[in-house]
Structure 1
Amino acid sequence: MLAKIHRVRVAGDFARTVRSGARSGRRNVVIYALPRPGDEPSRCGFIVGKNVGNAVARNLVKRRLRAAAAAFIARNPHGLDLVVRALPASALAGWDDLSRDFDKAVAGALRRCRDKGDTGW
């Protein structure tokens, strides 16, 4: 479980990150990353729609993505907002595939942040 300070919870923050953030996608997930000013804590939010599957499948995907996000935030506790959109293929993916796609998508989004000249990353 992510601590409250590490969760994106407001619709405006989701929208800002998706619209203005750097995007990187893989087979199972799309990651939007937006640097945060100063020494603000990193936050992560999740979008897991009904196209992923029934409630059981969606909750399983969310739990796995939360675990991957918690590991990322442990390594990078400050300066980034992430929004993770689960794609339909994520319902059939195992933990290894999902976490590998998460890590690669985050790396790609961070690379795009650097290329755009966003500060902090």
Structure 2
Amino acid sequence: MKKEFRIKKNEEFQFAFRRGKSFANRQLVIYYVRKPEQKHFRIGLSVGKKIGNAVTRNRIKRYLRQAFQDMEDRLPDEYDIVIIARKPTKEMDYGQIRKSLNHLLYKERLLKSGRGKS
């Protein structure tokens, strides 16, 4: 995923937390905020130190970025999406993380219609 499609600044994370809507399941928490002027969706990832060491946290972030890349054509362009990983993600593989993310995005109606890659 290209770097311009990532949320990096603390102010942008805080904006999503304050103004955005949130939704969660056991593995992930999603905050999303609509930004109509935006040309492409952006994602921010947060994996806390309680989840594991740096290797584990980076693996989870890689899996999440790859899942977003696979679903790129089904996501609306005008959203900033922040994902917070919870402890159960430590034990999950890519397929499980993607399924959990897909479930959340579908429940919140953030996925466009059409199958794409699943």
What range describes the TM-score normalised by the shorter chain of this pair?
A: 0.7 to 0.9
**C-alpha distance in structure 1 between counterparts of 2:6 and 2:47, whole Å:** 15
Identity value in percent: 28
In structure 2, the residue matched to 1:50 is 49
In structure 2, the residue matched to 1:66 is 65
Matched residue SS, 2:39: coil
- Check conservation: 1:33, 1:109, Cα contact below 8 A: no
Matched residue SS, 1:27: coil
Superposed displacement of residue 15, structure 1: 0.6
- Check conservation: 1:28, 1:93, Cα contact below 8 A: no
**C-alpha distance in structure 1 between counterparts of 2:3 and 2:53, whole Å:** 26
Between 1 and 2, higher relative CO (CA 8 Å, sep ≥ 6) is seen in 1
Name the TM-score, length of structure 1 as normaliser: 0.81
> 1:83-102, aligned counterparts within 5 Å?
83-102=82-101
> 1:101-120, aligned counterparts within 5 Å?
101-110=100-109
In structure 2, the residue matched to 1:118 is none
Amino acid at match of 2:7: V
Runs of 4+ in 1 over 6 A off after TM superposition: none
Q: Which runs of 5+ in 2 are unaligned?
A: 111-118
In structure 1, the residue matched to 2:28 is 29
Q: Which runs of 5+ in 1 are unaligned?
A: 112-121
Structure with higher helix content:
1
CA RMSD in angstroms comes to: 1.6
Name the TM-score, length of structure 2 as normaliser: 0.83
- Check conservation: 1:22, 1:110, Cα contact below 8 A: no
- Aligned residue pairs total 110
